[in-house]
Amino acid sequence: MSTLTFQGAVKEVTGSRYLIEVDGNGRSHRLLLECGLHQGGSDADAANARSFGKLPRELEAVVLSHGHLDHSGLLPKLVREGYRGPIHCTRGTRDLLEIMLQDAAFIMAKDVEWENKWRRRNGKPLVEPLYDLSDVEQTLTLCETHPYGQPARLPGGVTLVFRDAGHILGSAIVELTIPSGGQEKRLVFSGDLGNPGSVLMKDPEKLFDADLVLMESTYGDRDHRPLDETLEEFAQVLEDAHADGGNVLIPAFAVGRTQEILYHLSVLYHEGRLRQQMVFLDSPMAIKVTELYYRARKSLDAEDLKVLNLAASGDTRRYLPILRMTRTVEESMAINRIHGGAIIIAGAGMCNGGRIIHHFRYNLEKPDTRLVIVGFQAAGTVGRQIVDGAERIHVMGRDLAVKAKVHTIGGFSAHAGQTQLLGWAGAFRNRPRFYLVHGEPGAQQALQTALAESDIEAEIPAYGDRIEL
């Protein structure tokens, strides 16, 4: 009998990992679905540092739903510890991995360099990064890409099909047909399901047949505000910031959210509703991803692109003329001389590092600053502390008072809300087994209750739980 073991993203949002052991062709085959980074706090650091043990040399294939680091960020560590098999993903995911994993390795190297300076001074043993750029390069050589809807054969007689999840570029719902106990069982993993209300991405595909469904539950306890209301709130925040003379800080999720925010800023600009004179995209990774989205625009929603006249013209200067992309540290530092009238989109999205915390240093203690939170903030992150009402935060070795006005605008989420999750789950016929993953306990319990009201039974697994397919 084939089995699945939950090794991550259970009762938490990050660290996605599921081990599938296939009883096929007379012997056991081990496949890994996802290999994600844990994010948020010291517990996450300890989980990321834990060795994979024998797993890298026993695995025959890895399957990846999309390129966000909580789904892919430990792949180079898996390779560093000996994995040499294929990594199956879409082309969009492969292109994003090149940007995101290189950036992650670069940041790790810098963090370890600073950590080891302190350790040398204090006579402590030195530490190594989880992986380096050479591990990333080797990881990329192992990627095998597949279009949506095209079956691929995996070891043990498993068939893989990717479906469009509508979340970010290349994101996929994973459909696996797996031999088990003399039968074939269909496992569907939602990956991260997109929000049909968001721009640029197509709507998530609905599937109808499965024996077992792993479904994300990040926003299982609530719906997002309608997009038109969200945009009006966003426009009003920008108008108020202009009236007060302060800057607007937007922590940037480099993939998906940044591109959506730029889209809406462009629309406001061309409607004559954007009063700010400067928009800075201050994230080298977000800049690279934005350029990738432009190159891959044929895979994006054609109707949304028509709004920007990008599909035909190709003239990006018309997109948002006041946009400045700051690639270098010197260009980023120069922004700190601007005391008002600017919108600064900077990494990282959960405020745990990156250039946004430097802008905090110069702006967060000013009452005329607006801090606009446009994405999910995981437990343990600086962004979550601010959203939860912290009056002071500790970054870059110093305490900062949070005097800026904080606005949490959830309607921009690239995740499905509760109603969309219920609709996606309700499309399946013949009552498959549901397991809720990628959610904090409260959100999962709320979604479990809502599913039960629709006569859909769902379980909430714990770390290490092992189920038969």
Domain extent listing, the chain: 3-222+414-468, 227-412
The percentage of residues in the chain with a pLDDT greater than 70, rounded to a whole number, is 97
Q: What is the mean pLDDT of residues 1-15?
A: 94
Residues 6+ apart with CB under 8 A from 198: 227, 260, 412, 413, 414
Q: Tell me, what's the pLDDT at 247?
A: 97
Rg (CA), the chain: 22
Which has the minimum average pLDDT: 183-192, 237-246, 352-361? 352-361
Q: What is the mean pLDDT of residues 4-11?
A: 96
How far is it, in rounded angstroms, from Cα 227 to Cα 232?
Answer: 9
Task: Find the angle CA(233)-CA(345)-CA(336) to the nearest 5 degrees.
Answer: 120
Edge to edge, what strands does the sheet with 3-8 contain? 143-145, 87-89, 59-63, 27-33, 17-24, 3-8, 466-468
pLDDT at 206 over 60: yes
Q: What is the mean pLDDT of residues 230-255?
A: 94
Tokens of 213: 């469904």
Q: Tell me, what's the pLDDT at 312?
A: 43
Q: Tell me, what's the pLDDT at 411?
A: 83
Q: Tell me, what's the pLDDT at 355?
A: 92
Q: What pTM was computed for the model?
A: 0.90
How far is it, in rounded angstroms, from Cα 443 to Cα 218?
Answer: 7
Q: Is 396 left (phi over 0), alpha (psi -120 to 50) or beta?
A: left
Average pLDDT, the chain: 93
pLDDT at 100 over 90: yes
Confidence category of residue 41, pLDDT binned at 50, 70, 90: low
Half-sphere exposure of 319 (CA within 13 A, CB side): 22
Q: Tell me, what's the pLDDT at 316?
A: 54
Superfamily of domain covering 3-222+414-468: Ribonuclease Z/Hydroxyacylglutathione hydrolase-like (3.60.15.10)
Q: Tell me, what's the pLDDT at 305?
A: 82
Burial class (CB in 10 A: 0-12, 13-18, 19+), 118: exposed
CATH of domain 227-412: 3.40.50.10890
pLDDT at 310 over 60: no
CA separation, residue 263 to residues 75, 285, 294, 310, 412 (Å): 31, 17, 12, 11, 11
How far is it, in rounded angstroms, from Cα 263 to Cα 261?
Answer: 5
pLDDT at 43 over 90: no
pLDDT at 311 over 50: no
Q: Tell me, what's the pLDDT at 313?
A: 47
Q: What is the mean pLDDT of residues 118-137?
A: 95
pLDDT at 237 over 70: yes
Q: What is the mean pLDDT of residues 88-102?
A: 97
Q: Tell me, what's the pLDDT at 318?
A: 72
How far is it, in rounded angstroms, from Cα 2 to Cα 309?
Answer: 50
Give per-residue pLDDT as tens, 318-344: 788 999 999 999 999 999 999 999 999
HEC string of the chain?
CCEEEEEECCCCCCCCEEEEEEEECCEEEEEEECCCCCCCCHHHHHHHHCCCCCHHHHEEEEECCCCCHHHHCCHHHHHHCCCCCCEEECHHHHHHHHHHHHHHHHHHHHHHHHHHHHHHHCCCCCCCCCCCHHHHHHHHHCEEECCCCCCEEEHHHEEEEEEECCCCCCCEEEEEEEEECCEEEEEEECCCCCCCCCCCCCCCCCCCCCCEEEEECCCCCCCCCCHHHHHHHHHHHHHHHHHHCCCEEEECCCCCHHHHHHHHHHHHHHCCCCCCCEEEEECHHHHHHHHHHHHCHHHCCHHHHHHHCHHHHCCHHHCCCCEEECCCHHHHHHHCCCCCCEEEEECCCCCCCCCHHHHHHHHCCCCCCEEEECCCCCCCCHHHHHHCCCCEEEECCEEEECCCEEEECHHHCCCCCHHHHHHHHHCCCCCCEEEEECCCHHHHHHHHHHHHHCCCCEECCCCCCEEEC
370 bridge partner residues: 248, 405
Please report where in the chains the tokens 């959203």 appear, as a residue. 387
Q: Tell me, what's the pLDDT at 25?
A: 64
Confidence category of residue 127, pLDDT binned at 50, 70, 90: very high
Which has the minimum average pLDDT: 29-33, 43-47, 304-308? 304-308
